[in-house]
Amino acid sequence: MDETRLLLEDRVELPRLYISWLTPAMFAGGDADLDLAADILANGKTSRLYKRLVFDERIATDVRRRRTRVKSPASCSSRRPAAPGHTLLEIERVMVEEISRLAADGPTPDEMDRAKMQAEVQFVFRLQSVGGFGGKSDQLNAYNTFLGDPAFFDRDLQRYRDVTSSSLQAAVRGFCDHGRRVVLSVVPGAAPISRCPIQRRR
C-alpha cells in the first residue's frame, strides 16, 4: 500500500484533516499496543497532539482519534479541524513529528500509566450496561464471534496490562508508516464526492 491523498469539498465550516493507517485486526498482535498509542497521541486534553495542536501552537480546534477494530486488518484514523488562519499542512507536520517522536523515543512512564488506566476504566464501563452498543452483551458477543470464547474478558484486559513501553514503541514503528497511509483533506465547498481527486505516491 502506497500513500494515498484525497481532497474533498464539503459543507464544513473549517478544513479538516483525516489520516488513516492499516493496523492489526482485533485481538491480533500489536492491537492492544496501538490502542494505547492512539490514546497517548490523541485521546483527551492531556494527549500529545491535543496539547501541541490546540493548546501550544493553536493551529487546530480539536483532536479526535478512532480505531476501527474488526477481524480483518483494521484501521487507525485521526481527525483534526484546522483553526482559522492555519492550514492542514501545518497540522500534518505536527502529527508526523509527534508520531515519529513516539516511535523513536517511546512513551513516558506517566503516559503508559495513564493509558493503561484509561483502558481499564473503559473495560469496567462496558460492564455497567447489559445491552446496547458497547454493553456487556455486545462485548460477550464480540468475544464469541471473533474468538469462539465469550469468557475472554480477563484475558482481553490482560493484553493491555501486558503492553510495555518497548512493545508499544515497536508497534508504532511497524504500523504507523508515513509512506503507507491515506490522507483525506476536507475543505469548505459543495462539490460532490465523485469529484474528489485521488493522488497516490509511490
Over the stretch 74-125, which tens digit does the pLDDT of each residue have? 455 566 678 888 889 999 999 999 999 999 999 999 999 999 999 999 888 8
DSSP strand pairing (198-201 vs 182-188): unpaired
Q: Is 129 helix (H, G, I), strand (E, B) or coil?
A: coil
Q: Name the band, by pLDDT with cuts 50, 70 and 90, for residue 194.
A: very low
Between residues 76 and 44, which one has the greater pLDDT? 44
Residue 33, all three cell numbers: 499496543
Instruction: Give me the mean pLDDT over the 14-22 stretch.
Output: 88
CATH number for the domain running over 3-201:
3.30.830.10
Chain position carrying cell 512513551? 107
Give domain limits for the chain. 3-201
Closest to 116 (Cα-Cα) out of 5, 19, 36, 34: 36
Between residues 134 and 138, which one has the greater pLDDT? 138
Per-residue pLDDT, 72: 44
What is the longest distance spanned by two Cα atoms in the chain?
52
* Whether the predicted pLDDT of 67 surpasses 80: no
Q: Tally Cβ neighbours within 10 Å of residue 59.
A: 19
Alpha-carbon span 129 to 140, nearest angstrom: 12
Instruction: Give me the mean pLDDT over the 53-72 stretch.
Output: 75
* Whether the predicted pLDDT of 192 surpasses 80: no
Centroid of chain to Cα 150: 26
Per-residue pLDDT, 76: 56
pTM: 0.84
Give 200: exposed, middle or buried? Use CB within 10 Å, 0-12, 13-18, 19+.
Answer: exposed
Closest to 174 (Cα-Cα) out of 164, 184, 182, 166: 166
